Every structure is written in C-alpha cells, then in structure tokens.
Amino acid sequence: MGRRIILAFQRLGVVFGDIGTSPLYNFSVMYRFLLALTLVLVYTISSIYQIGNVDGNSFYQFYL
C-alpha cells in the first residue's frame, strides 16, 4: 500500500513537474505582446490628442 502511494506521487511529479518551468518560456512572448500593446496605446492616445487639438494642424483638417 505504501509503495503505491509513493508511485502515485512520482507519477504526479512527472505529469505536473513541467508547470514550474512553463512561465520561463512565456516571458519572451509576453514581453513582445506588452511592448506591442504599449505602442498601440501610445499611438492611439497621441492620435486622439491630435484630433482634439484644434490649432489648425493638417491631421485635424484631414479628420474633418
């Protein structure tokens, strides 16, 4: 009975042992995604600011 319990825990370690290292593989993908998301947000906010800026710039005239 005790041997079966030990084998059961060993099998769980084989199945779930890779969970601890999986985030290491995702950091590079997550970094690229966050960088792209940040650039899109900055571009969007700067575009909204330019549209609202009514000092006669060409982008605002193009928007009309």
What is d(CA 64, CA 59) in angstroms, rounded to the nearest whole number?
9
Confidence tier at 62 by pLDDT (50, 70, 90)? low
Whole-number pLDDT of residue 27: 67
9, 14, 29, 50, 64 from 5: Cα distances, Å = 6, 14, 38, 67, 73
Whole-number pLDDT of residue 20: 60
Query: pLDDT tens-digit profile of 1-57?
Result: 778 887 777 776 655 556 566 666 666 677 888 888 899 888 888 777 666 555 555
pTM of the predicted model over 0.85: no
Kindly give the residue spans of alpha helices, DSSP state H, lying in the chain: 2-16, 22-52, 58-63
- Please name the helix (run of DSSP H) or strand (run of DSSP E) that holds residue 15, with its range, or none: helix 2-16
Whole-number pLDDT of residue 60: 54
Whole-number pLDDT of residue 47: 74
Rg (CA), the chain: 26
Domain ranges of the chain: 2-63
